[in-house]
Amino acid sequence: MLLGVCTIVNSYRYIKSLTMDQQSIERIVHFLGEKNLLSNQQMKLLERPGQSNKFPVSVCINCMREHIPELSTMVIDDAASESLFGVVSDEVYLLSLLKDASTASRILSSTGVACDKVNQIRRLESNLSYPHLMSTVKGDFFLKYNSALGDRYIPRYDPKEVVFQNLLVENVLREYFGDEFTTKTLYPSFSTAENRRRADDSHSELERLTERAIIQPSYSPEFILLSESDDFSLIGKVTGNLVARIFNEAAGFRWSGLLEKYQNEVRDRTWEEFKEWLNNQSWIKKRYGIMMNSEREDLKPFIEEAKKLKLDWEDVITKSYQFWDKGRILTVPDLRPKNTFYHELKGTRIFDFDYLAIQEPSFFAAMVMYFCVKDATDRNISDSDKLTEMASAYLNELITNLEKSRFDDSFRKNITQYFAFTIIARYLPDYIASLATYEKMKSVFHTAKSMLVG
């Protein structure tokens, strides 16, 4: 048994503190490099410019995950490396317990959701951290486990805080849009999640697994995950309609109910806060600048094409202020097809929430359009016609269903400009000289250009 070897009382807090300790990060990187454990790809990632300290810590965590057997036999004489490896070992051990159906049975029984024996538990392929499907005689249950390590990157919150934020957003959205707008969490209750959110990690394996878990009924196979549809026009239309509904019903919202009680949990409540985030904290502007100033020969053709688009960041920010003034919206920033269940007759159910935020509508619309494209390229779809078809269907459905009194033609233009900024910022700096990536990059860039002139 590994759990208990590490003496740190809260794994996530330790990882978070490490991101603010440059010297410790450098020592850990040096230790892993000295032991020849860092892969060539990981070393390249560590050299990537413009990243916060969360990024190298994530790289070190992933490296340790891959080399637990070797590291377990080594004498680690660096305190920071030893502590991080202790956390990684405990977290990987906890996750391994979820492969066992008997452990899943104990979790279900302890939560009171069901006393059924779990016949099978399997991890699902998803953008979520660690989703599992548990099969019982009485039906299937969905379990999302939140690790302090995250999946590939350090999570935004402590695992128990992730659970609380998910429950908070789910309940607020249900107050505004009705019970059929989201999936339904069976465990934990909102009050249970709130009581646990800032506590130390439980020492018991079962308790630590349970306090980090979200359990819901399984919505498949009755519903499909929207991102897995082969009908790209359908993906665009359904998502566009969903965003239009949010625009029409969540603009001019009131601070009432749960939202009033927990309004300090909502991000960017004023234009000044939103503008500050957009200009100085969002990755889009930063990475767009890195791309446009790159001296790499392989990127020069794309840089020249990007310049022809005549994108103007200050202009879209100015327009954003006008749209914020007309109708800022309450929403979940990571709305996307991967987080949406769809049924032809029963509609959509959205799930997996990080936090609530107030956003300017053209920016939010552009981000959802970007996520539509990203979810498709994550499936290795690199057909520019399909990507453009989906983006066009999304934008047309959104514009058609908006309340026309609030937005004019400049609204559509601002969406497509934000979309183009995001595509260039996301895809082009990550270009690796391989045919698959090259074709994908050409496709998404073509989609951005098509939406601008369309």
Regarding whether 276 and 201 lie in a shared domain, the answer is no
Exposed/middle/buried for residue 393 (C-beta within 10 Å: 0-12, 13-18, 19+): buried
Q: Give the domain-ending residue among 51, 71, 95.
A: 95
Q: Are residues 52 and 191 in the same domain?
A: no
For residues 450 and 17, give the distance between their C-alpha atoms in angstroms, rounded to a whole number. 44
Q: Is residue 91 part of a domain?
A: yes
Tokens 């200050």, located at residue: 314
Residue 361 CA to residue 327 CA, distance in Å, equals 7
The reply to whether 5 falls in a domain is no
The pLDDT of residue 1 is 42
Those residues whose C-beta lies under 8 Å from the C-beta of residue 376, and which sit 6 or more positions away, are 227, 232, 235, 386, 387, 390
295 located within any domain: yes
In terms of domains, do 183 and 238 share one? Answer: no
Other C-beta atoms closer than 10 Å to the C-beta of 115 total: 10
d(C-alpha 39, C-alpha 41), whole Å: 5
pLDDT-derived band at 438 (thresholds 50, 70, 90) equals: low
CA neighbours closer than 13 Å in the CB half-sphere of residue 281: 8
Same domain, 89 and 173: no
Name which residue leads in pLDDT, 114 or 273.
Answer: 273
Percent of the chain scoring above 70 in pLDDT: 92
Q: Which two tokens stand for residue 366?
A: 């552009």
pLDDT above 80 (res 270)? yes
CB atoms near residue 142 (< 10 Å): 21
Considering its fold, how many domains does the chain have in total? Answer: 3
CA angle (243 as vertex; 242, 248 as ends), nearest 5: 100
Query: What digits encode the pLDDT tens for the residues 142-158?
Result: 999 999 998 888 998 99
418: domain CATH number? 3.90.1200
Judged by DSSP in three states, 350 sits in strand
169: in domain: yes
Q: Which domain holds residue 417?
A: 224-453
**Claim to verify: residue 228 and residue 170 sit in the same structural domain:** no
Looking up tokens 């807090």 gives: 13
Q: Give the C-alpha distances (Å, rounded to integers) separating 196 from 53, 202, 259, 356, 413.
A: 28, 10, 20, 20, 45
DSSP state of 142: E
Predicted pLDDT of residue 381? 83
HEC-encoded secondary structure of 68-133:
HHHHHCCCCCCHHHHHHHHHHHHHHHHHHHCCCHHHHHHHHHHHCCCCCCCCEEEECCCCCCEEEE
Sheet holding 340-343, edge to edge: 224-225, 340-343, 347-350
Average the pLDDT over 193-211 and give the result: 92
Stronger pLDDT, 278 or 326, i.e. the higher one: 278
Q: Identify any residues that bridge with 394 across adjacent strands, giving them in sequence order.
A: none
Rounded Cα–Cα distance for residues 379 and 391 (Å) = 16
Backbone angles phi, psi at 250, to 5 degrees: -105, 0
In a shared domain, residues 174 and 271? no
Any idea which residue has 């987080």 for tokens? Answer: 339
For residues 355 and 164, give the distance between their C-alpha atoms in angstroms, rounded to a whole number: 10
Cis link prior to 221 (omega < 30° from 0)? yes
* Domain membership flag for residue 4: no
Q: Do 170 and 38 reside in the same domain of the chain?
A: no
193 phi and psi angles, rounded to 5 deg: -65, -40
Please give the structure tokens belonging to residue 81: 């490396």
Does any domain span residue 49?
yes
Mind listing the pLDDT tens digit for each residue in 44-56? 888 876 678 899 9
pLDDT at 434 over 90: no
Could you tell me if 263 and 404 lie in one domain?
A: yes
Distance CA 383, CA 359 (A): 31
Does 392 share its domain with 440?
yes
Q: What is the pTM of this model?
A: 0.88
Distance CA 290, CA 65 (A): 31
